Amino acid sequence: MRYQINGEPMPVVICELDSGETIISESGAMSWMSPNMEMQTVGGGAGKIFGRMLSGENLFQNHYTARNGQGMIAFASSFPGSIRAIEISPDAPIVVQKRAFLACTAGVELSTFFQKKLGAGFFGGEGFIMQKLSGSGLVFIEIDGSAVEYELAPGQQMLIDTGYLAMMDSSVNMDIQQVKGVKNVLFGGESLFNTIVTGPGRICLQTMPMSTFAGVIASVLPTKN
Domain 2-220 fold: Double-stranded beta-helix (3.60.160)
Phi, psi of 185 (to 5 degrees): -70, -45
pLDDT value, residue 130: 85
* 133 or 217: which leads in pLDDT: 133
- At 41-51, the pLDDT tens digits run 987 544 455 55
- Closest of 49, 46, 22 to residue 33, by C-alpha: 22
CB 198, CB 178: distance < 8 Å: no
Per-residue pLDDT of 144-160, as tens digits, reads 999 999 999 999 999 99
Can you give the pLDDT at residue 193?
77
**What's the average model confidence in pLDDT over 166-185?**
76
Q: Is the pLDDT of residue 188 over 70?
A: no
pLDDT-derived band at 20 (thresholds 50, 70, 90) equals very high
- Domain ranges (residues) in the chain: 2-220
Q: What is the average per-residue pLDDT within 114-133?
A: 61
Least reliable range by pLDDT among 7-11, 29-33, 102-106, 200-204: 7-11
Q: CB–CB of 152/196 below 8 Å? A: no
pLDDT at 88 over 50: yes
pTM above 0.85, yes or no: no
Write the secondary structure of the chain as one string of H (helix), E (strand) and C (coil).
CEEEEECCCCCEEEEEECCCCEEEEECCCEEEECCCEEEEEECCCHHHHHHHHHCCCCCCEEEEEECCCCEEEEEECCCCEEEEEEEEECCECEEECCCCEEEEECCEEEEEEECCCHHHHHHCCCCCEEEEEEECEEEEEEEECCEEEEEECCCCEEEECCCCEEEEECCCEEEEEECCCHHHHHHCCCCCEEEEEECCEEEEEECCCHHHHHHHHHHHCCCCC
Neighbours of 36 (CB within 10 A): 15
187: exposed, middle or buried (C-beta count within 10 Å: 0-12, 13-18, 19+)? exposed
